[in-house]
Amino acid sequence: MSLEDASLDIVPGELLAVVGENGAGKSSLMNVLYGLYQPDAGTFLMDDKPVRLKSPRDAIARGIGMVHQHFMLVPTLTVAENVVLGREPTRRGLLDLDRACDEVAATAKRFGFHLDPRARVDTLTVGSQQKVEIVKALHRGAQVLILDEPTAVLTPQESDELAQVMRGLVAQGRTVVLISHKLKEVLGVADRVAVMRRGRTVAEVRAAGTTVSALASLMVGEGSRGAALTGVPAASGAVVPDAQGEATSGPIVLDAKDLRAKGDNGRPALQGVSLTVRAGEIVGIAGVDGNGQRELAEVLTGLRSLDSGEGTLLGGPLKGLTPALAKARGVGHVPEDRLARAVVKAMTVEENVALGRHRQPPFARGPWVDFKGRRERATRLLSTYDVRPPDPTVALQALSGGNQQKVVVARELDADPKLLVVVQPTRGLDIGAVAQVHARLREAKARGAGVVMVSLDLEEVLALSDRVYVLYEGRVTGHFPRKDLDERELGRRMLGAESDHG
């Protein structure tokens, strides 16, 4: 699945947004524009002349620059080395690093960025790394700058800053192409919006003359699946706010105090987090990527060990928790990186359904695999959760991302968890699958499970949560019951602002 009959006009000196669901072909189209992929058919005109972009080199030569969603930086090199890579200044055949640093500093300054050209990239924050990416493109003389989902990892405040940067570039006569699925944000900054659906460009509208809901229905198409499934026109085309969210007073399933743990890099990731979760509520964990949310989820599922702090999780101590112990107590886990953490993609669907409960009936009999019991259970779950194809014997990797996620959710809910920890549960899914996953989370809550949901998507947090904790640099900087939720205030806390009213 990629592109079919997609067309796009890019006008110099404007900010064009390209919107569409995940998998609608936005990234593919941009990779074609950047010369990374070759189209099977079609033409590409620049200044009315046909052009063939055989590689990014051609694109760069013609003034096209791209900032990828996953940064394309070499972590072990410095900022300057990353920026000049491929067009290095030399003196007598040798690399002239001093000149590189000067040049990069000059470019950064010209566009208003503060960057230390001699810093190693792996020591920078995500926001700074993005700036390095932008400088990298501008340094190559990019007149057209393509940004692929640039705000996915930024706070609202950082996103605002980026919007100013983009407007500034346009004001200087450059062209910016912004790829996003965040419609509100797009309308705030773009001049024109192109909508993609299933590999085609289906509409082009002026931003000033349209609304979020008009764009959303264009994105989803006639007889929209999203609207049909939820009965509510989607705000961003993806998330349906919860109407009946009421704080519950079920028994406490998790009570944690002053949790401290280290991240993968050995630096403190959790620096004193306290939280409680009750049965029958969804607790959202908001924060900018990399502020300890992931580590918190790992601590709760036994994947990461605590340095200090204590707590009770489903009647047992939090300290010394292992994944097996967590499972035994009734913790379900839908991790962020499905392919790395939740499934074994080369195994069959039924083998994946068994994963985690493979030692117990109906998946095992004594030390042996129970093939019959496993087949029966898998078949039943596939039909209940509407997984397509409903064949338990195919390799999991043959399924689409949405269906893979359904398998994971089905497996975790089938175990009837008392505490469900989900991280970015809808990342990369299309609207239909998002709605289904959300419905399942609400269902788990209704059944009396406590749900901890980590999400970088503020809209998702706002729509589903009964309470929200905000994490910043491994600390809780905000705790909001549902009635007090406010997007701007959440954003402030995500940047580390302490509460001003106690």
Partner 1 sequence: MGERTRQILPSVLSVLLALAVCWLTIALTRDADTATRAYLQMLWGGVGNWPAFLDGGNANAVLRPLGEAAMKAAILTLTGLSVAVAFKVGLFNIGAQGQMIWGALAAALVGAHVSLPGVVHVPLALLAAALAGATWSSIAAVLKLKRGVHEVISTIMLNWVAVSLVDNWLVIGPLRAVAEGQQSSITGTAEILATAQLPRLLGDSSRLNLGFPLALVAALGVWVWLTRTRAGYETRAVGLTPEAARAAGIPTQTRAGGAMALAGALAGLAGAVLVLGTEGRYPGSLGAPYGFDGIAIALIGNNHPLGAAVSAAVFGILRAGGTRMQLLGVHKSFPELIQGFALLFVAGRMVWLAVLRRRREQPTREQPSGEQPSGEQPSGEQPVAEVPRA
Partner 2 sequence: MLEVLHSLLFSTLDAAPALVFAALGAMLSERAGVVSVGVEGMMRTGAFCAAVAALAMPTPLAVLVGMAAGAAIAAVHGFLSIRWRSDQVVSGMALNLVAMAGGTYLLESFFGPNGTPSITQLSRWDLPGLPAVPLLGALSGHAAPTYLALTLPFLFHLLLSRTPLGLRLRAVGDKPHAVATLGLSVSALRWGAVLGGGMMAGLGGAVLSTAVLDRFEQHTPSGLGFMALAAMVFGRWTPLGAFAAALFFAFGNALRIGLASSAPWLLDLVPQGFLLALPYLLTLLVLALQGQRGHAPAALGTPYEQESR
Which residues here bind partner 2, judged by CB under 8 A?
Answer: 34-37, 55-61, 66, 68, 70, 72-77, 81-82, 85-86, 88, 90, 93-95, 136
**What's the min distance (Å) between Cβ of 207 and partner 1?**
23
Among candidate residues 72, 370, 26, the one with its CA nearest the CA of residue 182: 26
Q: Which does 375 bind (CB under 5 to 8 A by kind): partner 2, partner 1, none?
A: none
Q: How far is the CB of 74 from partner 2 (least distance, A)?
A: 4
We find the least distance from the C-beta atom of residue 208 to partner 2, in angstroms, to be 33
Q: Which residue has the tokens 């920890």?
A: 421
Instruction: Report the residue number, 57 or 388, with the smaller CB distance to partner 2.
Output: 57
**Residue-wise DSSP of 284-322:** EEE-STTSSHHHHHHHHTTSS--SEEEEEETTEESTT--
Residues of the shown chain interacting with partner 1 in the complex, contacts defined by CB under 8 A: 1-3, 22-28, 31, 37-40, 301, 303, 322-327, 333, 335, 339-347, 351, 354-356, 358-359, 364, 367-369, 395, 397-401, 404, 428
Binding partner of 81, given partner 2, partner 1, none, CB within 5-8 angstroms per partner class: partner 2
Identify what 477 binds: partner 1, partner 2, none; CB under 5 to 8 Å per kind: none
State the nearest-atom distance from the C-beta of 388 to partner 1, in Å.
Answer: 13
Residue 160's binding partner, choosing from partner 2, partner 1, none, with beta-carbon cut-off 5 to 8 A by kind? none
Element (H, E) at 226: helix 225-230
**Which one of partner 1, partner 2, none is in contact with 322 (Cβ closer than 5 to 8 A by kind)?**
partner 1
Range 132-168 burial, b when 16+ CB lie within 10 A, else e: bbbbbbbbbebbbbbbbbbbbbbbbbbbbebbebbee
Least Cβ distance, residue 223 to partner 1 (angstroms): 22
Query: Residue 364's binding partner, choosing from partner 2, partner 1, none, with beta-carbon cut-off 5 to 8 A by kind?
Result: partner 1
Following DSSP, what letter does each residue of 309-366 receive, concatenated?
EEEEETTEESTT--HHHHHHHTEEEE-S-IIIII--TTSBHHHHHHTTSTTSTTTEET
Q: Closer CB to partner 1, residue 205 or residue 395?
A: 395
Taken as a whole, the chain contains a residue count of: 502
Question: Which contacts (CB < 8 Å, 24+ apart) does range 109-112 have?
Answer: 111/135, 111/138, 111/165, 111/168, 111/169, 112/165, 112/168
Of residues 28 and 276, the one with the C-beta less far from partner 2: 28
161 makes contact, choosing from partner 1, partner 2, none, with CB < 5 to 8 Å by partner type, with none
Q: Smallest gap, in angstroms, from Cβ of residue 150 to partner 1?
A: 16
Closest Cα to residue 239, out of 200, 212, 257, 218? 212
Quick one: 68 or 493, whose CB is closer to partner 1? 68
Spatial separation of the C-alpha atoms in residues 310 and 160, rounded to whole Å: 38
Give 49 or 54: the residue with its C-beta nearer to partner 2: 54
Least distance to partner 2 from the beta carbon of 86, Å?
4
Quote the least distance from Cβ 456 to partner 1, whole Å: 17
Task: Give the burial class of 41: count Cβ atoms within 10 A of its Cβ; 0-12 exposed, 13-18 middle, 19 or more buried.
Answer: exposed
Separation of alpha carbons 467 and 38, rounded Å:
47
- Find which of partner 2, partner 1, none residue 72 binds, CB within 5 to 8 Å per kind: partner 2
CB 383 within 8 A of CB 359: no
